[in-house]
């Protein structure tokens, strides 16, 4: 028989991280992996794409092999206090003891997919974790489960791109020590990106090492490791992204207008309450000095008009469409006094003054009166 005695306080903190990694994943992914190493045992969890592993701390004892157990039942044993939880392995099962409670279950002969000790290429070895969170959080804020999220490198920056068909968001992050060659383009699963964001927000680490692994992105957080799988896109697809960036991200086109962020945010909140659904769209009409936002639901029409500062195209009316709830979600993730809007061909680009987060909204052609 082998066993471990683990501090309940430490184990409780670990499970809080683990639940953010796993989210509401299917039952076969809701496992806690015990990983035997030549040094300290490690614990691992994954949602099928996002993986997290960390060395066991505040414990005594050891394990003779690697195995997995269902994670959810363990939460019943965590009821406060700073005492220990005892894990005892014998004959293909594990007994977990805490005070006067015993939880017994069969162990699963499963191995945790190894996270490499280091990636192929380090992108930044001293990155603020808040910058990483902002980049992934901003681009995925407008997305849904069937949306595309891409990660690419260009010059001395990385970009996280979220695209749900009606909104395209580019979040730029400057990298230290990366020259931009070679460039990469990965497609990432939306659900795992959201799990990554929630996990990074919770972990109490200020700096992170960040690189490109064999099949996705890899992170080092102190003595813990994370990775998220990514599908490499072909050269033709990568060229599409690069052309879009050259034409629309790295240039602003014609300046249409600017609007106070808080005024715009208030209007989005009103429109979002009217439409209720996160995916319902509104129409925005810009004409000299005014931005009119309007929509219709259940034979009821609603509009709100904002005063804006004119730019270079005061002689034209511009129509574009957006989801007020998704734009509001994006507004919560970056601070700026004013938002600028620019004409970019078939899109209207919205960005804050810093320009590190840009959203592209589809323009409309007026076919009939909207009101």
What's the fold here for domain 121-249? DNA Polymerase III; Chain A, domain 2 (3.10.150)
Contact predicate 309/256, CB 8 Å? no
DSSP for 342-356, please give it.
EEETTEEEEEETT-S
Q: Which of 71-75, 202-206, 241-245 has the highest mean pLDDT?
A: 241-245
Q: Containing H/E element for 171?
A: strand 167-174
Q: Which of 47-51, 250-254, 298-302, 352-356 has the highest mean pLDDT?
A: 47-51
Q: Containing H/E element for 304?
A: strand 300-307
Distance, in Å, from the CA atom of 93 to the CA atom of 229, rounded to the nearest integer, reads: 32
Per DSSP, helices labelled H in the chain are 8-22, 129-140, 190-202, 235-244, 261-275, 324-331
Q: Once rounded to an integer, what is the mean pLDDT over residues 304-313?
A: 91
pLDDT for 366 equals 64
Q: What is the pTM (predicted TM-score) of this model?
A: 0.91
pLDDT in tens, 139-172: 999 898 888 899 999 888 899 999 998 899 999 9
Top CATH class of 2-106 equals alpha beta
Count how many Cα atoms sit within 13 Å of the Cα of residue 261 in the half-sphere of its side chain: 15
pLDDT for 262 equals 94
Q: Kindly report the backbone phi and psi dihedral angles of residue 105, in degrees, each rounded to the nearest multiple of 5, phi listed first.
A: -155, 160
Q: Kindly report the backbone phi and psi dihedral angles of residue 271, in degrees, each rounded to the nearest multiple of 5, phi listed first.
A: -65, -40
pLDDT for 314 equals 67
Q: Which of 14-23, 173-182, 273-282 has the highest mean pLDDT?
A: 14-23
Q: What's the token pair of residue 43?
A: 């614990």
Q: What's the token pair of residue 290?
A: 């005014």
Count of residues in the chain: 371
Strand partners, 291: 286, 306
pLDDT for 181 equals 64
| pLDDT > 70? residue 215 | yes
Q: Once rounded to an integer, what is the mean pLDDT over residues 332-349?
A: 89
| pLDDT > 50? residue 105 | yes
**Residue-range domain boundaries for the chain:** 2-106, 121-249, 254-364
pLDDT in tens, 262-281: 999 999 999 999 987 888 89
Q: What's the token pair of residue 28?
A: 């076969």
Confidence band, pLDDT 50/70/90 cuts, at residue 282: very high
DSSP for 196-240, please give it.
HHHHHHHS--SEEEEEE-SSEEEEEETTEEEEEE-EEPPHHHHHH
| Higher pLDDT among residues 53 and 177, named by residue | 53
Name which of 62, 44, 56, 43 is nearest 4 in CA terms. 62
Name which of 40, 75, 37, 33 is nearest 59 in CA terms. 40
Q: Kindly report the backbone phi and psi dihedral angles of residue 300, in degrees, each rounded to the nearest multiple of 5, phi listed first.
A: -120, 135
Q: What CATH code is assigned to 254-364?
A: 3.10.150.10
Cis check for the bond before 103: say yes or no (omega within 30 of 0).
no
CA torsion angle 242 244 249 252 (round to 10): 140
């Amino acid at each position: 028989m082998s066993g471990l005695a683990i501090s309940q306080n430490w184990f409780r903190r670990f499970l809080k991280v683990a639940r953010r990694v796993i989210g509401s994943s299917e039952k076969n992914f809701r496992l806690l992996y015990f990983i035997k190493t030549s040094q300290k045992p490690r614990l691992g969890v994954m949602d099928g794409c996002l993986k997290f592993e960390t060395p066991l701390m505040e414990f005594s004892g050891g394990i003779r092999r690697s195995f997995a157990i269902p994670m959810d039942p363990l939460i019943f044993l965590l009821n406060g206090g700073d005492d220990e939880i005892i894990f005892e392995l014998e004959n293909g099962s594990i007994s977990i003891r805490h005070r006067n409670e015993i939880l017994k279950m069969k162990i699963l002969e499963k191995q945790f997919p190894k996270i490499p000790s280091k990636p192929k290429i380090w992108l930044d070895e001293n990155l603020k974790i808040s910058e990483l969170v902002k980049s992934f959080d901003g681009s995925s804020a407008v997305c849904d489960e069937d949306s595309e999220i891409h990660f690419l490198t260009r010059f001395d920056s990385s970009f996280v791109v979220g695209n749900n068909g009606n909104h395209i968001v580019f979040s730029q992050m400057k990298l230290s020590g990366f020259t931009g060659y070679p460039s990469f383009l990965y497609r990432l699963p939306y659900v795992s990106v959201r799990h990554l964001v929630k996990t990074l927000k919770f972990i109490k680490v200020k700096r992170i090492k960040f690189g490109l692994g064999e099949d996705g992105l890899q992170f080092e957080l102190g003595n813990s490791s994370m990775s998220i799988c990514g599908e490499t896109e072909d050269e033709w697809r990568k060229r599409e992204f690069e052309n879009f960036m050259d034409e629309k991200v790295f240039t602003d086109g014609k300046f249409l207008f600017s609007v106070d962020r808080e005024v715009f945010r208030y209007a989005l909140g009103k429109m979002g309450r009217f439409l209720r659904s996160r995916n319902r769209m509104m129409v925005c009409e810009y004409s000299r000095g005014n931005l009119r936002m309007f929509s219709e639901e259940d034979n009821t029409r609603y509009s709100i008009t904002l005063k804006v500062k004119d730019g270079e195209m005061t002689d034209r009316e511009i129509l574009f469409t957006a989801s007020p709830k998704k734009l509001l979600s994006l507004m919560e993730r970056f601070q700026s006094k004013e938002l600028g809007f620019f004409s970019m061909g078939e899109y209207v680009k919205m960005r804050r003054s810093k320009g590190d987060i840009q959203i592209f909204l589809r323009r409309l052609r007026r076919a009939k009166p909207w009101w």
